[in-house]
Structure 1
């Protein structure tokens, strides 16, 4: 895109926002809704093509591809448990939406499960980086030659377990094999039990992970995942659902850090006692809206988990309310505070190369949080479909039409700098996987949520969310 066309498009979009306001969209007609559904279906098919292009002959979905080059792209050498999980649920979504047949779904899922069965593990969990082409554990980073110390990541393992759980639910023939894979995944491995005599050393939270090359459990990260409204809560839900974590773990997570601790904003709120645990029910305020912040202020921290766990349904006045307000804050940041003409900020590839976290600093607890820097990430708009479907589709349409952020081969690129018009060359499995899951949930609600509405999720997680009373 040339700079003159870019500046004209951006100015036109910003003027339209100022004229109508970010909440002034009229209810769509049935014809408009049908048109949106057709467009979303087309976007899904292109996005799923990118997942297939990233999947190696072994059956593992690699980390990324360069979508800017003609011809068939070469998947990156590296993959992670998260990337593999994204490939699994994307294939289930493709079958559920009629893009592929049930038999092709089975073939693709079975190939991936067979590859996962071959991967080296420790303490029942998978390492953070593998060679996507032969399944070996990476000890050298392919792109730089730097050494890689094999690591067991709490959150990355959660997304692989999520993908395997969805695959087993969709394909009964795979259930015994997946059950054997998950039989050793005991989440208490990552958990530091609560110690009332020393809650700093024993916070009742999950470690970021372990380097298992030391005797015993291995060497832990120096931090715990303390914030509730971040993506590691998927590991918390999985562990509480299968009984390997105590349910009081949920109440030991921070809605905000307590008052007087260094954080982005001094929180308001009150202490309450729930299930015998003293909980600081804090909140932030952004543009007059009370909400529960994430750690960095990005979209996927808040809204990736509810693609699978129906938080808003089970906790409409707490989780449902904060999700709505979080999306509104992201929209307002892009359209009003920064006047980009576009919105949606989440970690992604840097348009000029590399990777970094993007977000809205004011709605993250970290004092030096994630900043938008003029970079809009399309997957963030897809995550907002449940809360702002019309605005999300309009924003994505504008990114595609005005900035060339979409192509028919592999869907939306990973990011675009809306101040320069520079579009990333890459698509990433994580971000494309969020898009496929968000589209599946929008076009066929509950398709990927089924295994997270039954069993331990219904018996242990749902009652916790029903008790939740955010101070918002």
Structure 2
């Protein structure tokens, strides 16, 4: 059983904070349904744009409802733009996103309390029956949404699936269980039982990745020998079982995978030093000149661990990059974890700068007229990874256009750039990426989304379509469960004063995680480019 929640920002007592703490679920739902913004100290009136945000949430919920099987409470991974045909597979992340979206829909008055309870109870019924890895309590990566069966072949092609236990996907499911237990006390015991059975120590490699001073998580493991590369080892949690780990670690700081690190630390399953076992950037110097930029920065020592606090620069904006330069790598964990409150010298600086980089690229450098870049459906078919190339460490990183235009700048003293100032093509903007930026540029986000809806027709019966190529006007008329759940979380937080963060955090998490986060100092200038 986890301890009760406390305000995530640790603010001194004041009337507004006290009111937020004592609001019941019914009160939250009633206030939001009446159009009141809990985070707005002005009595009564919501802010400009709240009506649009609520409308977008209502429509987004329609798509999530359409892709969810009524009997199992499991959402499909995706559904067609006409809401007629859902996919035949789902993942722990999709399930987690559906659970917090259900809470958000209730808190926004889109569904009532009884419906939300019934939906979450159905999902928990199924989760309690799903096949899992017994030695870790972790869920496999693919299940059939209509039956809950673990997939061993893809429903569409019949190609084999080698059941995998993903670190980050289990992180998002576990995070949602924390939210359910706080948001719906009638389900707390069941959510706790599932959550407490998940051991994140199974992923944590104490030796860590090469060149880093502390341990970190691997990407996941198989419990049977897979094809391709794997590392056979006794499971890291000491269960005595054998695991076949990925050959890679999650070794970059700005990554959506940090949700699993946070949970492992909060649970006491992995040490807080795991925050030092990831790269802010790769180290400086020509040995590392394959990375997108040569970083600036300095070495800092935390608890005896020397960490290279590197950063990149773009259009006068300094920032710690993600691997691919996408918005969700940087900002998805911020939907649930109070990163800017707990990391005043790291995330509080980096998050708004990341948003400024994405906005500058879309509106000024590339001239797309819109912005927000993350992996999503490809408007021309399939799925693709989109981002701001110069904002990612990967030298052939995620690109922002359909032509995969690669930016290659000089690494002074090491290498000359082959394509430092390219002409960009048909930029692919992803609405969920824009929604993630709401806490840092509300006005800019609302203006951007209006362009996507009104000028680019990237809107359908289930809310914003998954992506749009801005110059050709080609729209990916599909909805992805993950992306829709990020939109629901972002809108919900904006309209309820970060309710998901309040559900997610408890005293034990704050005690174990906040001091380690507060100690980190990124080499990032607080000034962002105007």
> When the two structures are superposed, what TM-score results if normalisation uses the length of structure 1?
0.90
On the 8 A contact 1:56/1:75 being kept in 2, the answer is no
Alignment of 1:65 with 2:93, yes or no, is no
Moved more, 48-57 or 450-459: 450-459
Deviation per CA, 1:372-415, whole angstroms, max 9, x where unpaired?
A: 011000001100100010010111001100111112x2000000
Residues 449-468 of structure 1 mapped to structure 2, 5 A cutoff: 449-468=501-520
| Map of 1:180 onto structure 2 | 193
| Map of 1:50 onto structure 2 | 63
Whole-Å Cα distance in 1 between the matches of residues 316 and 306 of structure 2?
27
Whole-Å Cα distance in 2 between the matches of residues 456 and 278 of structure 1?
27
| Map of 1:327 onto structure 2 | 355
| Map of 1:3 onto structure 2 | none
Deviation per CA, 1:67-96, whole angstroms, max 9, x where unpaired?
A: 13xxx5232100000000010000001111
**DSSP 3-state at the match of 1:290:** strand
Whole-Å Cα distance in 2 between the matches of residues 155 and 328 of structure 1?
26
Whole-Å Cα distance in 2 between the matches of residues 55 and 182 of structure 1?
22
| Map of 1:444 onto structure 2 | 496
| Map of 2:268 onto structure 1 | 243
Distance 1:203 1:145, change over 3 A: farther
| Map of 1:412 onto structure 2 | 464
Quote how far apart the aligned CAs of 1:31 are: 12
Whole-Å Cα distance in 2 between the matches of residues 210 and 460 of structure 1?
26
Quote how far apart the aligned CAs of 1:317 are: 3.4
Structure 2's unaligned 5+ residue stretches are 1-41, 226-231, 233-240, 402-426, 525-530
Quote how far apart the aligned CAs of 1:199 are: 4.6
Whole-Å Cα distance in 2 between the matches of residues 182 and 378 of structure 1?
31
- Pick the aligned partner of 2:224 from 213, 217, 232: 213
Q: Over the residues paired in the alignment, what is the CA RMSD in angstroms?
A: 1.9
On the 8 A contact 2:79/2:478 being kept in 1, the answer is yes
- Pick the aligned partner of 1:344 from 367, 372, 390: 372
Quote how far apart the aligned CAs of 1:202 are: 8.7
Whole-Å Cα distance in 2 between the matches of residues 199 and 193 of structure 1?
12
Whole-Å Cα distance in 2 between the matches of residues 268 and 217 of structure 1?
41
| Map of 1:399 onto structure 2 | 452
On the 8 A contact 1:241/1:455 being kept in 2, the answer is no
On the 8 A contact 1:205/1:249 being kept in 2, the answer is yes
Whole-Å Cα distance in 2 between the matches of residues 222 and 355 of structure 1?
24
Residues 5-20 of structure 1 mapped to structure 2, 5 A cutoff: none
**DSSP 3-state at the match of 1:125:** coil
**DSSP 3-state at the match of 2:194:** helix
- Pick the aligned partner of 2:116 from 69, 94, 105: 105
- Pick the aligned partner of 1:83 from 70, 79, 94: 94
Whole-Å Cα distance in 2 between the matches of residues 201 and 362 of structure 1?
23
Alignment of 1:258 with 2:283, yes or no, is yes
Quote how far apart the aligned CAs of 1:290 are: 1.0
Whole-Å Cα distance in 2 between the matches of residues 456 and 328 of structure 1?
34
- Pick the aligned partner of 2:137 from 117, 124, 135: 124
Quote how far apart the aligned CAs of 1:144 are: 2.4
Alignment of 1:286 with 2:314, yes or no, is yes
Task: Kindly tell me the number of residue pairs found equivalent between the two proteins.
Answer: 438
On the 8 A contact 2:214/2:273 being kept in 1, the answer is no
On the 8 A contact 1:226/1:254 being kept in 2, the answer is yes
On the 8 A contact 2:370/2:448 being kept in 1, the answer is yes
> When the two structures are superposed, what TM-score results if normalisation uses the length of structure 2?
0.80
Whole-Å Cα distance in 2 between the matches of residues 162 and 201 of structure 1?
27
**DSSP 3-state at the match of 2:353:** helix
Structure 1's unaligned 5+ residue stretches are 1-28
**DSSP 3-state at the match of 1:278:** strand
| Map of 1:380 onto structure 2 | 433
On the 8 A contact 2:213/2:306 being kept in 1, the answer is no
Deviation per CA, 1:398-433, whole angstroms, max 9, x where unpaired?
A: 1100111112x2000000011210111200000000
Quote how far apart the aligned CAs of 1:201 are: 9.7
